[in-house]
Amino acid sequence: MPVAVVTGAGSGLGRVIARALLGDGYQVALAGRRPEALAETAKGFPDALAVPTDVAAETEVAALFEAVEQRWGRLDLLVNNAGTFGPSGDLDELSVADWRRTVDTNLTGAFLCARQAVRLMKAQRPQGGRIINNGSVSAHAPRPGSAAYTATKHAITGLTKSISLDGRRHDIACGQIDIGNAATEMTSGISKGARQADGKILPEPTFDPAHVAAAVRYMAELPLSANVQFLTITATKMPFIGRG
């Protein structure tokens, strides 16, 4: 059975993705900061491995992948999902501490997990595996007052491309899924009202996060000779195309 790590697995998209993979027969390590939330995700799947992890902490990420190697001996899939919206406001209103916390979680966390995954995928036999990074439609077009979040999501695109290029000779594929308005706890406010480019606050449509899980499953099930480099999935009527 293939082995996967899903970060941010204690809630939202991470929980939906992790449970979909578990339902498909994957051996899944659930990573997240809250043990009780990971336990909730693992309900009904006694073979799931819950590893409380702050992805911004190098030692905790190393321990996560060591636990995976000790339990299953290999890794086939990393879903780099953990993230935070971070602070909201104009650039001059953002504190350096809030900026750094956002970068640490969204970008450095993805790097740390990908680094450990690549090390394991290169060393194992047969060699190789797949990494799927959670980007955002903000990797294409920002929302107002989201400089920290948007900067990290643009950077994830660069990380995805670099992993894809450097991983080729080791049969490591890397793709990115950019998501707009999946209905989770993190986006609950969007359906009630989100700030638009002209300053108006308007409700935006959302969609079932199960469709994101289905997209991840499609990407994950491809042979390593094929790769979805970038996939964008949004609520059909969200103000993304034509934003601004």
pLDDT per position as a tens digit, 61-78: 999 999 999 999 999 999
Separation between Cα atoms, residue 241 and residue 86, nearest integer Å = 24
Exposed (0-12), middle (13-18) or buried (19+): which is 54, by Cβ within 10 Å? middle
Q: Any idea which residues carry the catalytic annotation?
A: 149
Domains and CATH numbers, the chain: 3-234 (3.40.50.720)
CA angle 80, 86, 88 (to 5 degrees): 145
Rg (CA), the chain: 17
Length of the chain: 244
Percent of the chain with pLDDT over 70: 98
Angle between helices 35-42 and 12-23 (to 10 degrees): 40
pLDDT band at residue 141 using 50, 70 and 90 as cut-offs: confident
Task: Say which residues have a Cβ less than 8 Å from residue 41's Cβ, sequence separation at least 6.
Answer: 9, 10, 11, 14, 15, 18, 19, 30, 32, 48, 50
- For residue 37, pLDDT over 80 is answered with yes
Q: Which contacts qualify for 62-65: CB closer than 8 Å, 24 or more apart?
A: 62/116, 64/5, 64/29, 64/31, 64/113, 64/116, 65/5, 65/113, 65/116, 65/117, 65/119, 65/120
Give the containing element (helix H, strand E) for 216. helix 210-221
Task: Say which residues have a Cβ less than 8 Å from residue 70's Cβ, sequence separation at least 6.
Answer: none
pLDDT tens digits along 175-230: 999 998 888 777 767 767 777 777 777 778 888 999 999 999 999 999 999 999 99
**pLDDT average, residue stretch 164-168:** 98
pLDDT band at residue 145 using 50, 70 and 90 as cut-offs: confident
Token pair of 61, please? 């990420």
- For residue 106, pLDDT over 70 is answered with yes
Between 139 and 80, whose confidence is greater?
A: 80
pLDDT tens digits along 80-92: 999 998 888 999 9
**pLDDT average, residue stretch 110-115:** 98
- For residue 124, pLDDT over 90 is answered with yes
Separation between Cα atoms, residue 210 and residue 62, nearest integer Å = 30
Give the containing element (helix H, strand E) for 49. strand 49-52
